[in-house]
Amino acid sequence: MSVSNHPKAYTSAALVVAFTAGICLTLGFKDLYPDLQRRYEQRKRTKEAALYGHRESSFLPPVELEDHTKPEPPGPNSSTPPTIQIGIEGLIGHTKLVRIKSLSEATGCEIVAKAELLNGAGNSPKDRVALHMIQVAEKEGLLKPYNGDTIYEGTVGSTGISLAVLARAKGYKCHICMPSDMSMEKVELLHHLGATVERVSPAPITSQDHFVNLARRRAEEHAGKWKDGSKGFFANQFESGANWTAHFETTGPEIFEQTQGDIAAFVSGAGTGGTISGVACYLKQEVGLKDVSIVLADPQGSGLYNKVKFGVMYSSHEREGTRRRQQVDTMVEGIGINRLTNNFEKGVELIDDAIKVTDTQAMRMARWLVEKDGIFIGSSSAVNCVAAVCTALRLKKEGKGGRVVTVLCDSGNRHLSKFWKQIASQGLEEEHGNLGLLELLELES
């Protein structure tokens, strides 16, 4: 009997054939499918490439985003402060911005200050600069830790203190040359921090014995003196590019972020010029050349006011080096100078205005801030605050208003034996009673 003649056998055979065909089809499709999928994807990419102008073989690259998969290194270069800081350098940067209430009320403009005295190594903006100068020198092979290498610097104090702290932390020795008329607190601090301190009589920059020239010479003499293969490194804050770039990379961006770019003027004194140039370069670039005004706060006796206002520093008979007297005739420490440094020149074209501040105005401002706001500052910060008030008054007069940002560089603790002693001896601690701020500073509204 043939199968076709038997209905049951026929049905069974048909089922077996259908089942086998089903399995073959499934297996075949499974093998075929990835190829189909690949071809479909390729055709889609070709279409997209034509649309976006890419070559057929390329794929659409991802948008370039910052890599957030790795933690940022701690310190002033990172955008957000990590929770636990690594070493003393982790306490540098990210300083707060504080509204000075009494000055804002008296002028009708918001006056805020970058509290640079909160930098946690040497307690001044020089922490940022000292750290950056060391980092750059290490990168360039000019300093090697735990090798007897010594950092030499000429400084009126603040940079020396920051360098001395960081030298201890990073395995270097530190040798500071400073003028003998700077306050004794700074000398003692440097001594306790383990730095060698060489004090020299104030001299013009043309003299071999100017504190900066002496520091350079000491660095050059290092190898011959120690003969142990260690190096002498002259930090050279006045001319070093690592100075203004420290402020361009950290102070400027922090101010921009903290004010969200809402800033009408930035006011600062200049010692090396690193702060004003670095911050000016950053803010002019980010806020806009015309939208933020950069103002120099200059103490009496400094030539920088004339440079900004009239394009020349001094008359020929006043030039530093042609007179044998103190570099700058003021009791203010840290700002004011009678020569052009690389760091000041970097930003000088961006400075829109300059304000000359007398020692008396600075002393009265320092006293006012203690009495009204409980803020105890040194002389350069007081000069900055007077100039910030003048700038606020100018902005108001021009009908602009807006926020004025300045800097609190260091605490009054560093200035007890000179600036604050003078304030007390002039009777300013009892004096001003009911006088308003503008009367006190002899300013017109």
Q: How many CA atoms lie within 13 A of 345 on its CB side?
A: 11
Catalytic residue selected from 126, 186, 231, 346: 126
Q: Which is nearer to ligand PMP, 212 or 428 (CB)?
A: 212
Does residue 126 carry a catalytic annotation? yes
Smallest CA-to-CA distance from 313 within 270, 280, 278, 359 is with 270
Burial 118-155 (b: 16+ CB within 10 A, else e): bbbbbbbbbbbbbbbbbbbbbeeebbbeeeebbbbbbb
Q: How far apart are CA 168 and CA 165, in angstroms?
A: 5
Question: Count H helices, E strands: the chain?
Answer: 16, 10
Q: What does the block give as tokens for 239?
A: 């001319």
Q: How far is the CB of 143 from ligand PMP (least distance, A)?
A: 21
Instruction: Give the nearer residue to ligand PMP in terms of CB position, either 395 or 423.
Output: 423
The residue ranges that bind ligand PMP (CB under 6 A) are: 124, 126, 156, 158, 269-275, 334-335, 378, 380, 409-410
Q: Minimum distance from CB of 60 to ligand PMP (Å)? A: 47
Q: In what order do the strands lie in the sheet with 353-357?
A: 97-99, 111-115, 404-408, 265-268, 293-299, 353-357
Helical H runs in 374-436?
Answer: 379-397, 421-425, 428-431
Q: At closest approach, how far in Å is the CB of 277 from ligand PMP?
A: 8
**Shorter beta-carbon distance to ligand PMP: residue 135 or 395:** 135
Closer to ligand PMP by Cβ: residue 390 or 395: 390
| In the complex, minimum distance from the CB of residue 142 to ligand PMP, in angstroms, rounded to a whole number | 21
Which SS3 state, helix, strand or coil, does residue 289 take?
A: coil
The minimum distance between CB 129 and ligand PMP, in angstroms, equals: 7
Q: Provide, rounded to whole angstroms, the least separation between the CB of residue 442 and ligand PMP.
A: 24
What tokens does 356 get? 């000359």
Residues 6+ apart with CB under 8 A from 249: 76, 77, 132, 278
Exposed, middle or buried: residue 359 (CB in 10 Å: 0-12, 13-18, 19+)?
buried
Q: Which is nearer to ligand PMP, 143 or 270 (CB)?
A: 270
Select 135 or 268, whichever has its Cβ closest to ligand PMP.
268
Query: What whole-number distance in Å separates Cα of residue 321 and Cα of residue 202?
Result: 11
The catalytic residue positions are 126
